[in-house]
Structure 1
Amino acid sequence: EENGIIEPRDFEKERNELKAKLEAITDDKGNKLNNFIPVPRDIYKEVNGDPPDLMGFFGDLAWRAAGTVGHKKVHIFENDTGPDDSVHDWTALFISNKSELKKPTTIFEASELLREVLHVEA
């Protein structure tokens, strides 16, 4: 960020310090969360556009970063931006009451199934 407060020469050092601090965040009882805080270019074959400096996945997706700032504490237990009853998973989540649907075993089968169910042409 050309208008940022961190000198360009200090960027990686500062980013790595922040990464370590985010990885060390514990839950409200002090238990380790196993936070995953990757640098985008370290996990993707190709990074396009203006990627974030870090990405944050907290508590194996059991926790998330608040979408607002200014809270007086690290942990908040109510959604800060409104209802969020979704379920998150590393490999995605698809729920259906249609027993005749074949369970996809690859991302390609999942894509085909979703196009079929949502009536979207390839």
Structure 2
Amino acid sequence: CRTLEWQVCGAQGVLPGQLGEKIVFATAPKSLDIWGRKSLGACGGWVPDGIRAKPHEYASHDVFFLETCLLHQICINGDELFELDAGQPFACNFSQPRFEELQQILVEPAEGGEPLRQCGTSD
């Protein structure tokens, strides 16, 4: 929830200390690779101690996928994210209706899908 809150505030340019309405990515969203070594759910990033006792947690690399998808959903110009280079600023054209659609998606139970993978276990 805090990640979503931070993202919405950043998209609207209201984060404390944020200079203007632009967000700058250290890593370009277009570099995301859903099939690569650092793909979503691959458990390829940093994982906190004790993760093996907690099923279905996410590694640090998964968070960037989440952040990019959230911005893509709530910004009318979300497709522009995938044209950015690292360090290039992005100004979100925030959409309240798209945010409300995301809210509805998040409160409804997921249907079907692949079984969740547990970080720290072998396949």
Shorter-chain TM-score category? under 0.3
Q: Answer 1 or 2: which has greater helix percent.
A: 2
TM-score, with length taken from structure 2: 0.23
Q: Answer 1 or 2: which has greater strand percent.
A: 2
